[in-house]
Chain A
Amino acid sequence: MSKIDKFLDALMLTFAAMDEKSHWPLRVEEVAPYFSDIEAEDVLKGLRQAEKAHLSAREIGMLFIGPSLLREILPDLIIGLKAAKVPLKDRLWCVELLLKGLKAMQAGDPFCRDGVNALQTPEETSTLLCDNEWRKCDPKTSVALHKLSSSVLSLLWGLYFYPWVNVGFEIHGPYDSSSKFGKNTVLLVRDFFDICPSELWPALSNRGYHSVKLLSVYRDVKLSIDMFDHVMHQGNLPSAMIAFCAFVDGKPLKTNEEIENLNKDMLSIGTDHSSRVSQWRREELVCKFIEIRYYCLRRLAQFCGRSWMPPSKVLSRVEEWGPIEIPPDESGLSLELLKRAFDPRDRWYPK
């Protein structure tokens, strides 16, 4: 099976579990046509430059922030390559290079088909388990910590919107933690590394926090992660947690009071922000959505020596073309058509 087939299989499995109607604040199809062909040509140029500069596969992958974001960006980029009428040979070169970059950033299956998003080797996990001061978990602390995690995740949805939310976090694992915590224990790392993107949202720059990292150890729970960092499990996650380390801006959270206060702050920042965004006019939402997409590609833009902001020709399309309306009851493309759309070998894409 080729890398592209493996990618498509994993993608279809993940999409099968989703529902397009839940996207907030807009659906990707209402936004992507404004930028996808222009963006794809720029990405192609950037990758040619990266190859010329002899960047390693991992360095090329890291131009897209991290593995989860690269997996999120790739499907729309493939449609963009088709919309830009990039020849098959170049489409395949581009996608295969990015899949190599993805593989180089992962310690396990690049598409998480085994339910693991492995960014660390067993040795690195062992070091992480030994080097940290772990706190044992009581039910109250566990509930507080999972509330905090849900608040930070929601804040990130508000900051980056649904489709490319992984520009701000990576959830990785589950890793075997039996060497430190005994049988049937696993470690899950929630790394919310960019929760204050002030370039994107200048009003947030005085709200204080930049990153939150939660290392959680669970016992007797079957955990898995799909290719877009969705954590799936059977049973009750908070009650399965036995130990943790929590950090805000690199400093450990030592008491329940600190965790609860941070949760209140995250809820407050997230609620204020999302409530404001929900009141925006459609055109403002579309422009910010596009800006977020270009923020995802900022390292590539910086490598190429250009501004990461969307080009004016993309933003002028928003005005010229007007809104792209998707009927509210439109259920979206079938899985069969999605697979064709995201297959770089197939010329078909939704117009």
Chain B
Amino acid sequence: MKIILKGVAASSGKATGKAKIVKTNADFQKVTEGDVLICPTSNPSMTIIMQKACGIVTDYGGLGSHAAIVARELGIPCVVGTTQATQIITDQTELLVDGDKGVVYVKD
């Protein structure tokens, strides 16, 4: 596994799953149970897909952002503020999200 992104460790734990990039509401249907949600930032209408995800990675946001707060409530790992997750990760990539270290790995 190699490190693909670093950001702010916003919710602890580790999870592996397939990346699903969500930029608009039309992308919601891509997310299934156990995926890693990748988005620029989250908003309240995305809670329904956040509850399906095993981990969350965002481009923007800090510990007080919506993604961070919801992930902590759900007990799933979350890395925020990576600045470029939606640009360098592609759909279906197998990822490991380390919410303790704020690091995202791609599986070899």
Chain A residues proximal to chain B, CB less than 8 Å = 14, 17-19, 21-22, 24-25, 143, 146-147, 149-151, 153-155, 157-158, 162, 226, 228, 230-239, 267, 270-271, 273-275, 278
Contacts and interface: CB of A to CB of B under 8 A. Distances in A.
A236 B62 contact: no
Contacts, number: 104
A26 to B, nearest CB: 12
Interface residues of B, number: 28
Contacts of B69: 150, 153, 230-231
Nearest to A235: B12
A4 B63 CA distance: 25
B45 to A, nearest CB: 4
A329 B73 CA distance: 29
A79 B75 CA distance: 37
Contacts of A267: 47-48, 51
Interface of B: 12-13, 25, 41, 43-45, 47-48, 50-51, 58, 60-67, 69-70, 72-75, 80-81
B61 A232 contact: no
A22 B62 contact: yes
A69 B75 CA distance: 26
Contacts of A153: 69-70, 73
A25 B13 CA distance: 29
Given A158-B45, A236-B12, 6 more contacts: A147-B51, A150-B47, A150-B69, A154-B44, A154-B66, A230-B64
B44 A232 contact: no
A18 B50 contact: no
Contact of A151 (B47, B58, B64, B66): B47
B60 A22 contact: yes
Contacts of B66: 22, 24, 154, 157, 162
B81 to A, nearest CB: 6
A21 B50 contact: no
Given A19-B81, A24-B66, A150-B51, A155 B72 contact: no
Nearest to B13: A236
Chain A interface, DSSP helix/strand/loop, else mixed:
helix
Most B-side CB within 10 Å, residue of A22, A155, A239, A274: A22
A270 B73 contact: no
Contacts of A19: 60-62, 64-65, 80-81
A18 B65 contact: yes
Contacts of A237: 72-73, 75
Contacts of A146: 73-75
A273 to B, nearest CB: 8
A24 B66 CA distance: 9
A270 B45 contact: yes
B47 A154 contact: yes
Contacts of A151: 47, 51
A25 B72 CA distance: 22
B12 A234 contact: yes
A275 B24 CA distance: 11
Most B-side CB within 10 Å, residue of A18, A19, A239, A270: A19
B64 A228 contact: yes
Nearest to A279: B25
A236 B100 CA distance: 11
Contacts of B48: 267, 271
